[in-house]
């Protein structure tokens, strides 16, 4: 695994770090010399990731519900205190309920509310409460994990597509407003990546084949491939990259 020189000593808060892409990003950042605060719902999965990466106090675990403002505020306060500041925020926590989400004419209100609570309100809360520390850094960066569905739409999962579209707009707005403080903000949009979130596509041969045929590289992505892009965006090597949407989808045609 390559180490990005632009990450050495950077202090980064990662949400949704207990598994999948979040855990892969945490591993990449730790290997590249970053100090990390990792958050997710409390539990053994988060504990395992932290135990794997813990080294001389460079990794701290803070369990929280991303939709609860008091908990998010506490996470940001503790992360800033323990790490001695914040240089980066990686908003990865999110949900994709392919079996409950639906087209708008039959989309239950409770599903709409729950998806937007995690996928939009959660990142908003972390941006809100981490902003002061990121501005003090003078080289702060927010990477919000959106989706290709956020700008291409999704015919079946309207709440998910709407939530990711809103997150892209929020990201651009943050970049434009706080760039004067040296703060960068980027929306990272993965395609289909082999994690538990898309187990349904991997397990169903018909769906898996349809996804592969719609992807120029004819395969699903791997978490480490997203982590490599994330590490670059969070590093000083990307110091002139802001207010953009970065697709990492293998040429997915939506």
**Does 160 participate in catalysis according to the annotation?**
yes
Distance between CA atoms of residues 120 and 90, nearest Å? 14
Structure tokens at 190: 């993965």
Running DSSP on this structure, what letter comes out for residue 48? H
- Decide: 95 and 118 in contact? Cβ < 8 Å: yes
**Within 10 A of 244 (CB to CB), how many other CB atoms are there?**
15
What's the sign of the alpha-carbon dihedral 213, 203, 165, 145?
negative
The whole-angstrom distance between residue 9's C-alpha and the CA centroid of its chain comes to 20
Q: How far apart are CA 67 and CA 94, in angstroms?
A: 11
Compute φ and ψ for 179, nearest 5 degrees. -60, -30
Residue ranges of alpha helices (H) inside 54-179 are 69-83, 109-116, 122-137, 149-152, 158-178
From 96, 124, 160, 178, the catalytic residue = 160
- Give the residue numbers marked as catalytic: 160
């Amino acid at each position: 695994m390559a180490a990005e020189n632009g990450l050495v000593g950077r202090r980064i808060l990662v949400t949704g770090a207990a598994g999948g892409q979040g855990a892969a990003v945490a591993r990449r950042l730790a290997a590249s010399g970053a100090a990390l605060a990792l958050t997710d719902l409390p539990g053994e999965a988060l504990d395992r990731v932290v135990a794997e990466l813990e080294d001389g106090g460079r990794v701290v675990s803070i369990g929280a519900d991303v939709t609860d403002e008091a908990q998010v505020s506490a996470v940001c306060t503790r992360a800033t205190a323990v790490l001695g500041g914040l240089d980066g925020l990686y908003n990865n926590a999110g949900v994709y309920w392919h079996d409950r989400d639906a087209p708008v004419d039959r989309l239950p209100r409770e599903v709409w509310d729950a998806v937007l609570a995690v996928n939009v309100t959660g990142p908003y809360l972390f941006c809100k409460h981490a902003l002061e520390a990121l501005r003090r850094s003078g080289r702060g960066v927010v990477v919000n994990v959106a989706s290709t569905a956020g700008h291409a739409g999704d015919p079946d999962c309207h709440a998910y597509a709407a939530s990711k579209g809103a997150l892209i707009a929020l990201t651009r707005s943050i970049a434009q407003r706080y760039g004067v403080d040296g703060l960068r903000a980027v929306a990272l949009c993965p395609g289909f990546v082999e994690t538990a979130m898309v187990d349904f596509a991997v397990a169903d041969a018909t769906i898996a084949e349809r996804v592969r045929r719609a992807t120029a590289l004819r395969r699903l992505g791997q978490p480490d491939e997203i982590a490599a892009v994330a590490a670059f965006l969070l590093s000083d090597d990307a110091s002139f990259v802001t207010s953009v949407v970065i697709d990492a989808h293998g040429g997915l045609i939506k």
